[in-house]
Structure 1
């Protein structure tokens, strides 16, 4: 029996020099057919959000920044995309979906390791669903140090043995060079 894969915030607004490799890796992983269902979250920076109010950050308010990365479009259907506002963790609709399907474990990957991936993994842990974080399919828009910091916190809080590789790093710890930017 396949287990669910949750793709966290791999969306246009979070693709940068530190995360550009993630959509292709995720597409390759999904293409293996080892996980089902494949679910997605997308971050929406709502008006008057804490991000806008406290950090004066106004990105990811609408399309195209809130669109799931184009490499993942073959798997994106409205019924498997769960929108979330801020660091809220698991959206209620997604939590209800997991309860209805009685999942015991979830494989997690995405952007930002130190923020939304961390929060959602810890939320699943708190509600008794085992989170497995696929570390080579995660990255942070703030760079390698933020990614590693997120993994360090996750290691302590959900257990280091729940941090695993999908075998897609191609030998790179940080983002590989972006051939389109060279």
Structure 2
């Protein structure tokens, strides 16, 4: 992909979002991060923080993800996060001011999203990339929902309609798409 500058964006792989319905994605994300790191391309981890009085608390009555250990990156990915840029966010999307500035500064044209949760933070980040005239990619087999398979599939359905079915890929296709591994 000549002229394309890609980054892997690992969304909210935090202890508080991992449960019996999302745990299966950890090894797949670890494999993807390790393969991506081997190319020398950039990796960014996002870390969601809820706060008292947030819209999540006021409107959804959801008070989790305010403190450690819930907010910490899962142990299987912590050494990778220590070598990467970690973006803290109080919103669904990667595109906080910091995320938007980082993407512009680095000149990234393609953002490859994986992580938790497909139907919220992964989806919102991909749609926001699309609306910023960037090329989003959603790695479907390296994304999951703590809400379970139905929530994951709902996120895939909406992503297909919002950013295009060609932007939903499996991890094994990344090498061919980007010309590595």
Query: Quick one: structure 1 residues 20 and 79, their matched pair in 2 at CA, closer, same or farther if it must change by over 3 Å?
Result: closer
Query: Which blocks of at least 5 consecutive residues in structure 2 are unaligned?
Result: 174-181
Aligned-pair CA distance for 1:86 = 2.8
1:23: which partner in 2? 26
Q: TM-score, normalised by structure 1?
A: 0.86
Q: Is contact 2:46–2:94 with CA below 8 Å preserved after alignment? A: no
- After the TM superposition, which residues 95-114 of structure 1 pair with which residues of structure 2 at under 5 Å, given as runs? 95-114=100-119
Query: Quick one: structure 1 residues 143 and 166, their matched pair in 2 at CA, closer, same or farther if it must change by over 3 Å?
Result: same
1:13: which partner in 2? 16
Q: Tell me the SS of whatever aligns to 2:171.
A: coil
User: Partners of 1:7 and 1:107 in 2: how far apart?
Assistant: 8
Aligned-pair CA distance for 1:62 = 1.3
Q: TM-score, normalised by structure 2?
A: 0.87
Normalized per residue, the structure richer in helix is 2
User: Partners of 1:88 and 1:109 in 2: how far apart?
Assistant: 13
Q: Is contact 2:45–2:84 with CA below 8 Å preserved after alignment? A: no
2:133: which partner in 1? 128
Query: Quick one: structure 1 residues 142 and 35, their matched pair in 2 at CA, closer, same or farther if it must change by over 3 Å?
Result: farther
User: Partners of 2:82 and 2:103 in 1: how far apart?
Assistant: 17
Query: Quick one: structure 1 residues 122 and 26, their matched pair in 2 at CA, closer, same or farther if it must change by over 3 Å?
Result: same
In the TM superposition, structure 1's runs of 4+ consecutive aligned residues that sit over 3 Å from their partners are none
Query: Which blocks of at least 5 consecutive residues in structure 1 are unaligned?
Result: 169-182
Superposition CA RMSD, Å: 1.9
User: Partners of 1:99 and 1:118 in 2: how far apart?
Assistant: 20
Q: Is contact 2:113–2:138 with CA below 8 Å preserved after alignment? A: yes
